Amino acid sequence: MKIISTKDNLQVLHEDNHIIVVNKRVGDIVQGDKTGDKPLSEVVKEYIKDKRFLSNKLRNANAEDLKVILEKYLIKNETHNWIKLFTKMNIPCGPIYNIKQAVENPQITFRNMIVSSNHKKIGKFKMAGNPIKMSNYKDPKTRGEIPELDQHRKKILKDFKIKI
């Protein structure tokens, strides 16, 4: 069974505003013949003019179809390679991390988003840092000791003038 390209299974290797590069399969014809099969040039034109994706509104309306098409290509490479390519082409992008990858990301360390504190019983304890950064506010990598339950209760109630 020979596989021929259609606008739905076209293997696009590169595409920008000036050029489109596709993989020509063995069964693809490059000019019309008596079989009536579409030449590859016509298939590419159909791909480019797919009415479902001409505007952002249409792409949103046909998001499921677009997702299927994109996944066929994205699965063929590793995330870091796509990010490298998209970044080079000025396409905003970034990976989706699991929790471990997120907390180990250098940007998280740089922004001090994971800080540590000490607890009398469990020792060193990591927790989320303050996401709001202000130039006049110090943002240390370590915080004070974690208080015991109700350790500061009396002082807090007194500060807020709450009598029990």
pLDDT in tens, 148-159: 899 999 999 999
| 130 touches 139 (CB < 8 A) | yes
Specify if 95 maps to a domain.
no
Domain boundary among 10, 34, 49: 49
Q: Which residues span the domain enclosing 154?
A: 101-159
Q: Is residue 143 part of a domain?
A: yes
Q: How many domains does the chain have?
A: 2
Residue 120 is assigned to a structural domain of this protein: yes
Q: Which amino acid is at 9?
A: N
| 54 found inside a domain | no
Q: Is residue 139 part of a domain?
A: yes
- In tens, the pLDDT along 28-87 reads 777 777 777 778 888 877 777 777 887 788 888 999 998 888 888 788 889 999 899 889
Distance CA 125, CA 143 (A): 10
Note whether residue 39 is domain-resident.
yes
Tell me, yes or no, whether 44 lies in a domain: yes
Q: Are 5 and 39 in contact (CB under 8 A)?
A: no
Instruction: Cite the beta strand spans of 11-68 per DSSP E.
Output: 12-15, 20-22
| 65, part of any domain | no
Q: Which pLDDT score is estimated for 51?
A: 74
Q: Is the pLDDT of residue 1 over 70?
A: no
Q: Which two tokens stand for residue 91?
A: 């396409």
